[in-house]
Amino acid sequence: MRNLFISLLSCLAIISCATTPATDPADPNINETADQFVARINQEIIENSRENEAAYWVYSTYITPDTEVLVTKAGERGLAFASEMLKGANKFDENLLSGETARAIKSIKLGSSMPAPDDADKRAEIAGLSAKLEGLYGKGKYCKSEGDCKDLGELSKIIATSRDYNELEEAWTGWRTISTEMRPLYERFVELMNEGATEMGFDDTSVVWRAGYDMSVDEFDTETVRLWDQVKPLYDDLHCYVRDKLAENYGSDKVPTDQPIPAHLLGNMWAQSWADIYDMLEPYAGVSNLDVTASLEDGGYTPVQMTEMAEGFFTSLGLPELPDSFYKNSLLEKPADRDVVCHASAWPMGNGEDVRIKQCIEPTEESLTTIHHELGHIYYYLMQKDLPPLFKDGAHDGFHEAIGDTVVLSMTPQYLQNLGLVDNVATSEKALINQQMKTALERVAFLPFGKMIDEWRWRVFSGEISPEEYNQGWWDLREKYQGIRPPVTRTEADFDPGAKYHIPGNTPYTRYFLAHILQFQFHKSLCETAGHTGPLHECSIYGSKEAGMRLGDMLALGSSKPWQEAMTAVTGQPNMDGSAILDYFAPLQGWLKEQNAGKSCGW
């Protein structure tokens, strides 16, 4: 994730040589051509962004009422600049322009995930709401009684490690007490964004969000449905197996084998990953137990050492070392003396010269993979260093999220053994099924969650889900896509969407669904480039300069070309495709079908 100012300018491009002039006689830049306009915007981004970036960084790493004031004011100025930029772009008709100029003007019009009204008071209001919502999340704690409070990290640890049904239920329900206050704020936030979207000429904010993928909104909707339909059978097989095992552990009275799974039993606060309940789901007990967390803990690995380990993978591909400023300026562990937003994020500050991450790193396998994910963003920024500011983004937002996770797929058991993080890697069929199960609980389990988050928001933005139906609409979609249900009765007094960072943080989420498709597609192509000839799940591109060059060439394009061209650069063809996931997990899916034979699957 990136800060507000950068997100306001996301998915933008630069001009080439058009000469269509502005036509408003009151405009001081009346004779400005399209290429002059975008060149000016590029320069103003460089000049103005540093203050905004600093304000958001300080607020995220030091949450106080004072820093909330600072970030709100910076947000107002950022929104004012975005509004003026949009006004300038609207003076040009991209249909009368050509090439990169047309792309630039269209991208500017679609570039904001938070379209704000063209009214100073309302811009101030929406900036304040944005800061308030994120602050409520970052400061959120569940207090069972005075002096007995737990933050998200502590509650998440219970969800991940406890196997007591009631304790899990309390932790799950407790975290969702932090979001009830957000509900009226979010309703007004949506209202203001929709007003801004309407002023831009769109029906609502959902159209703005879906229009930035180099295809029509209808084509994009069709594409996401097609991709989900490709991978849904694998998810359904996994869901059936997991539900049956949970019923064995907790009893079929608590986990009926023909109903959605209670959400608090899946090892993650949002049931988006099921990897932390692997101990209950392990196909073959004790076969090739790749306990990376234990190795990190026993080895006393520090946050810096873990980050350096992740950096080493990228440099093995021939990509550059991280600048010294990265380690100096990043926040790599949670401070003991203040509230911070621990949700991991990557920051391209100083026009990309001052790259850094913010992550509360712990000696766990999850933290190690998250570091790789965030460094994927960082290397995208670094490879774009010579591009103008408006080009410094992913080919589409799913590309940005996929890069680090593509690298994680190369963290094979043999690679982990070479790093000294696991011993005695087994190579039997049983070991393979165990390894694939562990990966699927992370990657496959996520897919429907990645799709439904924005589907809920799109329906909220369009009015299909009214404010009076926020929570019911949320759980309807979670049951439809994930096959899960809340462990206790939820009502419209609750605001369960707000308990997930990306809702109060206003971060579009379809990018993560697309990234989970793309990472396997990228992995397959890069493995072929590296000369791998065996099964896809055995491939690691570590040390392949050829694969690194192909990846680096794609990263260097930024958003300067349609994503289909970037896709061609890394895979040799222009389409997104979910078949690589099925190739990767073919051994596991065959095994799951055998295990599920005769069982009642579905919900």
Bridge-based pairing of strands 345-349 and 354-358 is antiparallel
The reported pLDDT for the residue numbered 23 is 41
Q: Which two tokens stand for residue 142?
A: 């569940």
Domain ranges of the chain: 4-135+183-214
The reported pLDDT for the residue numbered 29 is 65
Mean per-residue pLDDT, 30-35:
82
199 and 118 Cβ atoms separated by less than 8 Å:
yes
Could you report the per-residue pLDDT of 59-89, keeping only the tens digit for each? 999 989 999 999 888 888 887 888 788 888 8
3-state secondary structure of 556: helix
Please name the residue that has the structure tokens 């994927």. 376
This prediction has a pTM of 0.88
Q: Is 239 a known active-site residue?
A: no
- The whole-angstrom separation of Cα 272 and Cα 231 is 16
Could you report the per-residue pLDDT of 403-422, keeping only the tens digit for each? 999 999 999 888 898 888 98
Q: Which two tokens stand for residue 463?
A: 């009015």
321 and 311 Cβ atoms separated by less than 8 Å:
yes
334 and 360 Cβ atoms separated by less than 8 Å:
yes
Of 377, 516, 523, 537, the active-site residue reads 377
Of 94, 100, 195, 374, the active-site residue reads 374
The reported pLDDT for the residue numbered 526 is 98
Q: Which two tokens stand for residue 475?
A: 């759980």
Of 264, 372, 373, 400, the active-site residue reads 373
Of 512, 532, 547, 580, the active-site residue reads 512
Could you report the per-residue pLDDT of 128-180, keeping only the tens digit for each? 999 999 999 999 999 998 889 999 999 999 999 999 999 999 999 999 999 99
The reported pLDDT for the residue numbered 22 is 38
Of 343, 516, 532, 537, the active-site residue reads 343
Q: Is 333 a known active-site residue?
A: no
Of 372, 400, 502, 523, the active-site residue reads 502
Cβ atoms within 10 Å, residue 95: 9
Q: Is 479 a known active-site residue?
A: no
The reported pLDDT for the residue numbered 230 is 98
Q: What is each CA distance from 109 to 13, 104, 203, 388, in whole angstroms?
A: 11, 9, 14, 18
What residues are paired with 354 via a beta bridge?
A: 349
pLDDT category, 282, cuts 50, 70, 90?
very high
The reported pLDDT for the residue numbered 49 is 86
Q: Is 343 a known active-site residue?
A: yes
Q: Is 401 a known active-site residue?
A: yes
Long-range (24+ apart) CB contacts under 8 A made by 165-168 are 165/250, 165/254, 165/265, 168/264, 168/265, 168/487
349 residue type, one letter = M
Of 116, 275, 344, 346, the active-site residue reads 344
The reported pLDDT for the residue numbered 31 is 78
518 residue type, one letter = L
The reported pLDDT for the residue numbered 472 is 98
Q: Is 499 a known active-site residue?
A: no
Q: Is 502 a known active-site residue?
A: yes
Mean per-residue pLDDT, 453-471:
98
pLDDT category, 4, cuts 50, 70, 90?
very low
What percentage of residues in the chain have a pLDDT greater than 90? 71
Q: Give the residue from 355, 415, 361 showing the smallest Cα distance to 540.
A: 415
Cβ atoms within 10 Å, residue 286: 8
Could you report the per-residue pLDDT of 547-578, keeping only the tens digit for each? 999 999 999 999 889 999 999 999 999 999 99
